[in-house]
Structure 1
Amino acid sequence: MSQYRRARRPYDEEPENHERWLISYADFITLLFAFFVVMYAISVVNTGKYKVFSDALGDAFGGAGAAIVQNTEVQTTPQATPQAIRRRAMIVQEKVRMTKLAQDLLSTMAPLVKEGKVRVTQNSRGVSVEINASVLFDPGEAKLTEASREALQAVASLLKDDPHAVQVEGHTDNQPIRNIYASNWELSSIRAATVVRLFIESGVAPERLTAVGHASNQPVADNNDPIGRARNRRVAVTILSGVPDPETEIPTAAEAAPAPAAPQPAQ
């Protein structure tokens, strides 16, 4: 049997290939190139081609059509013009001046503020000093009391050298007037004019002053009860801002919430 045995051929080993790594390297470079191509394609979206492609996919799969294209453009905030920057600076400076004025008025009227008869507020329109009519006038009258003259003269001393325009507004409740005045229009207007006349006598320039009567048309409380009517009988002295800012409401800088004023039997 041994003579029939074939001699086993030795195993032919393949020669070792030292350049096999080039295949893996080439695959890696190809994948890396594809990755950057995809990233570039995502970052630069052709809106028209994207919509056509999206519509085609939607029709093919029975969808509703194209998807919403997201806006990939960077939104830039327009730069402020020099004029806008200067105006904003003027508004800020004016707010500072008006806040200082509100604080001075609040300090001057402090005793009446504590009694709830005077309210000092600041807003986008300017600074307002709201004085209960019982402090200034006898019921149904438009002549200032002696005590009220001192308080108003103190206010006038602050406004005398101030350049802002001043508007004085008279207000009443809704009760019919029963004296020499034909209606609440006359009473509110004459009360405002009386305060203006005192300011002029105290040195405030007449061209800065305006007197307005509102009668009962701008109530701040309910006219159905005596306490509300007492609050509605008032005179408001408003120092108008020289650079109004209509976009924003200035936070209250000096404000004291008034206690309910004692009701008066008449205006």
Structure 2
Amino acid sequence: MKRRHHEEHINHERWAIPYGDLITLLLALFVVMYAVSAVNETKFRVMAQSINEAFNGTGKVIEPIRDATPAAQVPLPNQSRAPTAAPIAKIDVPIPPRNLPLPGHEGAATERQEAASINTATAANTTVGKTESASLSQISDEVKRAMKPLIDKSMVSVRQTQDWLEIEVRTDILFPVGVAKLQPAAEDVLRKLAGILAPFPNAMRIEGYTDNTPIATTLFPSNWELSAARAATVARLITTTGVDPHRVGIIGWGEFRPTTNNDTDEGRNRNRRVLIVVMSDKAAPARFYSDADRVAEGAH
């Protein structure tokens, strides 16, 4: 009977052993290379000095390396001692004269400079303020002369503050009750005002006011719409009579900025008004309707 020959088991992992040896050798090689490359700087300098002495035939005592300072400069080993240089000739550089402040006076000089700057700025602001005030005063004087008959009848009033000029026109001469269409006589008054205001560059806004009488029509559902429409009507007329429309804006205050109470016919009549507010040349602060803000008041 023939014996069966068992096939030998093939080891598929025989490659792992030489591979591990190879990796170990590579690791050792890298360690050696790293150790060789990491040379101590001091030892390297000593070795370089020794090699240099061997070739040049000079022997010197190697001193420990110290931190170099600008005052002590040690020549390199391969350099011979340079001959002593001749003293450098002193050169006098002319310095322009300058008034140096005495000790203890630096602060005073600075304060004087700051004070001078502040005084200059204050003077400039004062000059600008006077110019703006003069411009408003000129407009005020011209309006008062042109509107004197209506001012005497309390139909027009002129009030001046530092930042704006108010020209108030009662709606008795402007609009019938409850409408925003100008009366014929009102157009002549507004054209005369526009002729005075047109030459000046000042910005202005037209403000409309009503009394507290309710209104609820198709055109004017409330006093908001009525006051704004009246302001727009005045603005449209003066801008078509010579005033630059880029200078003009409108505001409708409705019934919420009364000058007096609405308990009487006279009070309601005074509250129905249109204001032409001429601003100063500078950017004026926010204007609120208040008698306390007025610094001057014209004739009524």
Match of 2:227 in 1: 188
CA distance in 2: counterparts of 1:118 and 1:136, whole angstroms: 11
Highest CA radius of gyration, 1 or 2? 2
In structure 1, give the amino acid aligned to 2:178: G
> Equivalences for 1:50-61 in 2 at 5 Å?
none
CA distance in 1: counterparts of 2:134 and 2:163, whole angstroms: 14
Is contact 2:210–2:255 with CA below 8 Å preserved after alignment? Answer: yes
Match of 1:110 in 2: 148
Match of 1:223 in 2: 262
> Equivalences for 1:72-151 in 2 at 5 Å?
80-151=118-189
Is contact 1:140–1:179 with CA below 8 Å preserved after alignment? Answer: no
In structure 2, give the amino acid aligned to 1:168: I
What stretches of structure 2 of length at least 5 have no aligned partner? Answer: 1-111, 286-291
In structure 1, give the amino acid aligned to 2:173: V
CA distance in 2: counterparts of 1:245 and 1:233, whole angstroms: 26
Match of 1:255 in 2: 298
Residue 84 (structure 1) shift: 2.3
CA distance in 2: counterparts of 1:161 and 1:223, whole angstroms: 38
Output one character per residue of 1:110-136: Cα deviation in whole Å (capped at 9) or x when no partner. Answer: 111111111111012311110001110
SS in 2 for 1:81: helix
In structure 1, give the amino acid aligned to 2:250: A
CA distance in 2: counterparts of 1:230 and 1:179, whole angstroms: 21
Partner of residue 245 from structure 2, selected from 192, 198, 206: 206
Match of 1:42 in 2: none
Aligned sequence identity (%): 32
What stretches of structure 1 of length at least 5 have no aligned partner? Answer: 1-75, 258-267
TM-score computed with the length of structure 2 as normaliser: 0.56
Is contact 2:259–2:270 with CA below 8 Å preserved after alignment? Answer: yes
Distance 1:116 1:250, change over 3 A: closer
Match of 2:60 in 1: none
TM-score computed with the length of structure 1 as normaliser: 0.63
Distance 1:208 1:245, change over 3 A: closer
Is contact 2:156–2:167 with CA below 8 Å preserved after alignment? Answer: yes
CA distance in 1: counterparts of 2:281 and 2:143, whole angstroms: 18
1:161 is aligned to 2:199: yes
CA distance in 2: counterparts of 1:166 and 1:230, whole angstroms: 24
Is contact 2:224–2:254 with CA below 8 Å preserved after alignment? Answer: yes
SS in 2 for 1:219: coil
Match of 2:280 in 1: 241
> Equivalences for 1:11-30 in 2 at 5 Å?
none
For the aligned residues, what is the CA RMSD? 2.2
Output one character per residue of 1:166-221: Cα deviation in whole Å (capped at 9) or x when no partner. Answer: 11000001110143310000000000000000011101111100011000111001
In structure 2, give the amino acid aligned to 1:204: V
